[in-house]
Amino acid sequence: KRLGTESVAIFPASGRTGNRLQELLKAEKIGIEVLNTRNETRENFIVVDNSSNQQYRFGLPGPEIYPDEAAQFSQLIEKLAPHWLVLSGSLPPGVDVDFYATLARDAKLQGAKVVVDTSGEALKQCVEEGAYLIKPNLGELSKLVGVDSLDHDSVADAAKQLISKGKCQLVVVSLGAQGACLISNELVEFISTPTVKKLSTVGAGDSMVAGMVHVLAAGGNLHDMVRMGVACGTAATMNPGTELFKKADVDCLYAWMKRK
């Protein structure tokens, strides 16, 4: 939305925290489709050590989602018929590990391109179903290809294993402060992260996905896609707390990377 691409957030919500979440999204003028659940939305918090700028994240257990509630997500996605579907975050208790994979399969039948940003068994199941783009980190990618660990020299070969088997078309491996690696059938490219003063890493990965989808949805090329993703992720770290990126910061970082 901040980059100029309209989007709709589909999520479960209930209780005080769920209501606050909806208020925040409406303030950003983001379209929402809310599944009202019987259990209240969880609340997470982050503690920052001002002397070291280290963050300590406390992700509280998510509320159970009941089968009848989970089934409504497929109906919502079918109604919206999205061109792009981003499946993001961990799965709550009560939801089968193949939940995202089922949503991906149904969305693809409608002609949607599916972007997956999750981890563990949920990511593995989605990859088995097939996705357009996945964004694992090194540890997640190593698990997908069945090896103990990966480094910069082996990341491209690992990603191409998945692509050659039809598990996905694009892999963007998040390398944290070191940037990202884009892998397709024809392309391998490492993108370094611009040096900035980091205040918070909250939402950096989600911002990276947003930047990439923004470019892809507009018909942009892969070089611009990964640079915009890194620019958005980096710009998000320049703001305190849970504040996401400012477009002016993204534009500056993106222009700098385009010159490199």
Q: What SS3 state is found at 176? A: helix
- Sign, CA dihedral 11-12-18-19, equals positive
Who's near 114: CB < 8 A, 6+ residues apart? 84, 85, 87, 104, 107, 108, 126, 131, 132, 133
259 HSE (CA, 13 A, CB side): 6
* Cα end-to-end distance, the chain, whole Å: 27
The whole-angstrom separation of Cα 253 and Cα 233 is 10
Pairing of strands 8-13, 180-183: unpaired
User: What is the gyration radius of the CA atoms in the chain, in angstroms?
Assistant: 18
206 flagged as catalytic: yes
Q: Name the catalytic one among 206, 224, 249, 251.
A: 206
Q: Please state the separation of Cα 147 from the chain's center in Å.
A: 23
Question: Could you write out the three-class secondary structure of 3-58?
Answer: CCCCCEEEEEECHHHHHHHHHHHHHCCCEEEEEECCCCCCCCEEEEECCCCEEEEE
- Catalytic residue ranges: 206
